[in-house]
Structure 1
Amino acid sequence: MIRVLIVDDEQLIRSGLRLILEAAGDITVVGEAADGAAARAEVRRLRPDVVLLDVRMPGMDGLAAAPDIVAAGARVIMLTTFDRDAYVHHALRAGAVGFLLKDTAPADLTAAVRAVASGDAMLAPAVTRRLIDSFAERGPSRRHTARRQLQCLTARELEIARAVGRGCANAQIARQLLMSEATVKGHVSRAMTKVGAGNRVQLAILVHDAELP
C-alpha cells in the first residue's frame, strides 16, 4: 500500500484528492496538512511514501517546505493550478520528482503517485517538453559535454536512458525491451549514478542535451 500525505490550503481540494486516491485500492491517504510548516511536521510523524504538495499556500508554501520533506525521505509531487516554468524549476531544485497541474485527470493522478512511489519521475505533459527545452543549453559545446558524460554507460544503460529521455516510465521500457520492470529500474538507477543525475528528469535532460541520433 502506498502511503500518501496531501498538502493543500483548500479543504475541498484535499477531500477531492483523498476520494480519488483511496478509490485506487493500492493507495492510502495517511494524513492531510494545510500549509508547508504543518506538512513538515506530518511527514516526520506519519512517514508517507509520497507527498502531494501544493505550490502556493499561505504561510510556508510548498516550494519552501519541499527540501525538508525530501530530506525526511518522502517523494514529492508538486501540485498547482499554474504551469509557469519558474515553479517547475524551483520544484526540481527543491528535490521534487513530480509536477502535476490540478486539472490532471484522476487516472493520471493515481498513475503519477504509483510511478513516483516506484522510483520514476512524473511531469505533467503540458510542461515536460518546455521544461527540458529550457534546461537544455543548445550548441556544440553542450552537446559534446553531454555525450562525453554518457560515454560511461553500457549499451543497455544508454538504450534505457534514451527511453527515459523520451518520457517513458519503467513499465513502458520493460514492455518495449522485453525485460522485467525491476531490471529496468536497476539500469536506470545505475545510469543516474554514473552520470551524476539526481533524478530521472535530470537524466532525461542530459540525453536531450546530447542530441543523440
Structure 2
Amino acid sequence: MTVKKDGSKWLVDVYPNGREGKRVRKRFPTKLEAQRFEKYVLNKAFEDKDWNTGKKDSCRLSELIATWYQVHGQHLNYSKRRLNLLNYACEAMGDPVTQKLTPETFLKYREQRINSGISAKAVNNLLGYLNAVFNELHRNKIISYENPIQKVRPIKIKERELSYLDKEQIVEMLDILSSVCVNPHVTLIAKICLSTGCRWGEAQSLHARHIKNQRITFTDTKSGKNRTVPH
C-alpha cells in the first residue's frame, strides 16, 4: 500500500514513475492529507510525461494498468489476480498505445480467447476489468480521454439450469467423504455448505467465534459483506 500508518502519522511511500524511478516519501498528520498528496504526486508524474494527453500521447496500456493498480486496484479484493489477468491481456494485445486502442483490437483478442476454450463469462469479466481501469482513471482526472472500449458489449450468456442433490445423493456423498477423506473436517465442511448454501472457502475459514446461538456468521465473503445464517 502506498499510504500506511507510521506511528502517529500517515506515510506516503510511492514510486510515481515505477520502481526504476524516484521514490517519494512524506508523512502527514491525517490519512486524508496523505491520500490527497498521493493523488497529487501521481497526477503530476502523469502530466510531466511526454505521452500525456495534450502532448504527443504514446502512453501504453501496461503503464495505464500500473497507474490504476497503484491508485486504486491494490485496494480491491483479489487484486493480484485481477492485475495478472489485465497484464496477460495487455501483452496478448501487443501492449497498444491507449489512445490507439480500439473496440476492434479487444474484439479480436476476445475471439482468440473464445476459440482457445475460454468461457464467455471469463472474457466478460476481463472486459469489465479493462473498463474499470479507464473509468477509474478518467473519474479521478488522471486521464482526460474517454474509455476507448466503452461501447463494446459483453457476450450474452444463457442462464444455466440449476441442479440440486436429492436426499439419497446427499447421503451417498457424505458416506463417500467419511470413508475416503483422512481429514475429518472435510465432512463437517460439506455439511455446513449443504445446510447454509455457503461456498467451500467460506465454510473452511470459519472459527469457533463465528458459530453462536444456532447461527453461523460468514465474514470476508465474495461480496465483501458479513452474512449470518440460522443454523
TM-score, normalising length: structure 1: 0.29
Larger RCO: Structure 1 or Structure 2 (Cα < 8 Å, ≥ 6 residues apart)? 1
Higher helix share: 1
Higher-Rg member (1/2):
2
